[in-house]
Amino acid sequence: MIKERTKEKLISIGLVSPTVLAIGIFVYGFIGWTIKLSFSDWNTFAKLLKGKFKFVGLSNYIKLLFQDPRFPSDLWNTLFFTILFLLGCVTLGIILALLLDRGLKGSIIFQNIYLFPMAVAFVVTGTAWRWIFAPGISAYPQGINLLFSKLGLDALRWRWFVSIEHIGPFNLALIPVVIAATWQLSGYTMAMCLAGLRGIPSQLIEAAQVDGASGWQVFWGVKFPLLRPIILSAMIILGHISLKIFDLVFSMTGSGPNLAVDVPALYMFETTFERLRYARGAAIAIIMLIMVSFIIIPYLISSMKREAKK
């Protein structure tokens, strides 16, 4: 019996070992290598050809954070983008889920319309929205501005992603990118909330209604508290996507005038693969990894703990 146990254990470990090995190398080994790179002076093509590391400590990080105006402004952009994007996805997602939860005839068609952008590539979304938000010039409006003109809504015309307006460190040119990202991913919060709403026992809602609660009170008193953990996980998933956002911005606007829509992922790509300043690019990548880890590691730990309790 004991012998068989050992044998089974060995087979189990054997079966997962290719994956463990692959993830060990491709995720953790490579991250380690990038960290090492970020502490090096591999910032010119000549040094790259020589292929030898020289350790320069935190110099790449210090330059990025304190001497380079572009990177701090990217971080502000990421913060602004994340706030607006989460606000958009959560509000829109809850509203759509509540609408669909009414179970009106034809709801499934609407659900499919709200959800299909999730199946579309960010670069497709970027291509379409770039064309929509291209502002044109004031005499010859284009895109959405042209539509506003036709509808007599000239007051809504704006420079969109080529705008240089800002509120403090927040660049308003990011708004059209947030709209495109919300268009693409609010279906995610909607699907999560809808699954949550359908899991609420109907007796609970009926009991509240018998007690004379209005629709609004039922939402805030019964539904919302039960949805809260679901909304929190959705925010973590969407939040970490927004810290990494690349495809959409790359295909829709690029860095924009005055770097108004620049994000760390764009800067990393340009630094590493266009200017071949590998060490500096690696430092950007590691800062992105640290930001993502701050929200994902607690999330993973709490998910695993919750599961262990079951």
By CB under 8 A, what part of segment 277-296 binds another protein? 278, 281-282, 284-286, 288-289, 292, 296
For another protein, the closer of residues 165 and 198 by Cβ is 198
The H or E element containing residue 167 is strand 166-167
122 binds another protein (CB under 8 A): yes
Identify residues 39-58 at the interface with another protein (CB under 8 A). Answer: none
Within residues 93-112, the interface with another protein by CB under 8 A covers 95-96, 99, 102, 104, 107, 110, 112
CA dist 274 → 5, 45, 67, 243, 259 (Å): 55, 11, 21, 22, 17
In the complex, the smallest distance separating the C-beta of residue 290 from another protein, rounded to whole angstroms, is: 9
153 binds another protein (CB under 8 A): no
3 binds another protein (CB under 8 A): no
Q: At what angle do helices 174-198 and 107-115 cross, to 10 degrees?
A: 140
Alpha-carbon span 224 to 38, nearest angstrom? 44
One residue of 37, 94, 97, 218 binding another protein per CB under 8 A: 37
According to the binding rule CB under 8 A, does residue 299 interact with another protein?
A: yes
Task: Spell out, one character per residue from 229 to 268, where the chain touches another protein: x when CB under 8 A holds, - when not.
Answer: ----xx--x--x--xx-xx--xx-------------x--x
Reported as half-sphere exposure (CB side, CA atoms, 13 A), residue 288 has a value of 26
119 scored as a contact of another protein (CB under 8 A)? yes
- Tell me which residue of 199, 183, 174 sits closest to 78, measured CA to CA: 174
Residue 301 tokens read as: 């730990």
Label residues 130-148 b or e (16+ Cβ within 10 Å = b). bebbbbeeeeebbbbbbeb
- The minimum distance between CB 165 and another protein, in angstroms, equals 23
Task: Using the rule CB under 8 A, give the single segment among 61-69, 161-169, 217-225, 301-309 that binds another protein.
Answer: 301-309
26 binds another protein (CB under 8 A): yes
Neighbours of 209 (CB within 10 A): 14
